Amino acid sequence: MGHDFGSFMYKEPKFRVMKKLGWILLLICITAAAGDPSQEIKSHKVTFKIKNAGLTVDGSFSDFEADIKFNPKDLDKSVLKASVGVASISTGIKKRDKDLQMRKYFDVEKYPRIKMVGKKIKHIEKNKYKATFDLTIKGVTKQVEIPFTYTGKENEGTFSAEFTVNRRDFGVGSNSLILSDKAIVSIEVAVKEGKANGITSRQ
């Protein structure tokens, strides 16, 4: 009688096969996450200024998160991502802070964070750079060019940037004779080399 060749072949138990597949998937995930480490956030300061009834209102955001992998020698592979929590806004007057979180302005319940994602970075001269960001406020995303400086020393560095945002481009408030359309935003972030990916800082 003839024999079915397949019946003589060794069949590895299913649980061993699944175990091997599990290890392979784990290794793939670890390899994917083992890219260049993010730079740890040492300190941060995000502030803004806007004219209201002829007076300058100063404000800030204290809830700051960032994923920064910046290499001046390899800008194409550098990563600049950051966001602030709208609920952390502070202008020195609590009632005004609550008003700014309402639907008419930032609508914090629906859009809790303002996000910035770097798309392209150019070196201008010395420690000066210009980056194109996708800026998302209140669910609206627009590309903005932001000039910034980066001063590095050994394994530490500081980013400084200042740019203007038109609040009405993002549906923050409406036309007003008292409140200016434009706000000046300033960002300063100090970093140091970190071993973990996606370093997050909240204060």
Q: Residue written as tokens 């502070």?
A: 90
Question: Which position has the higher pLDDT, 184 or 194?
Answer: 184
Q: Which domain holds residue 101?
A: 36-193
Q: How many CB atoms lie within 10 A of CB 32?
A: 8
Residue 162 lies in a domain: yes
Residue 68 lies in a domain: yes
CA distances from 151 to 44, 187, 192 (A): 15, 14, 12
Residue 92 lies in a domain: yes
Residue 5 lies in a domain: no
Residue 17 lies in a domain: no
CA distances from 45 to 24, 28, 127, 194 (A): 42, 37, 20, 20
In sequence order, the 6+-apart residues with CB closer than 8 A to the CB of 59 are 47, 48, 49, 50, 89, 90, 91, 92
CA dihedral of residues 32, 37, 43, 44 (deg, nearest 10) = -50
Q: pTM of the full predicted structure? A: 0.77
Domain count of the chain? 1
In sequence order, the 6+-apart residues with CB closer than 8 A to the CB of 102 are 108
Residue 201 lies in a domain: no
Q: Is the pLDDT of residue 55 over 80?
A: yes
CA distances from 143 to 9, 64, 76, 80 (A): 60, 21, 18, 14
**Which percentage of the chain shows pLDDT scores above 70?**
77
Least confident range of 4-8, 54-58, 71-75: 4-8
Least confident range of 29-43, 127-141, 168-182: 29-43
CATH number of the domain residue 82 falls in: 2.40.128.110
Model confidence pLDDT, tens digit, residues 18-44:
555 555 555 444 333 344 567 899 999
What mean pLDDT do residues 66-80 have? 95
Residue 19 lies in a domain: no
Burial of 13 (0-12, 13-18, 19+ CB in 10 A): exposed
Question: Which position has the higher pLDDT, 29 or 48?
Answer: 48
Residue 60 lies in a domain: yes
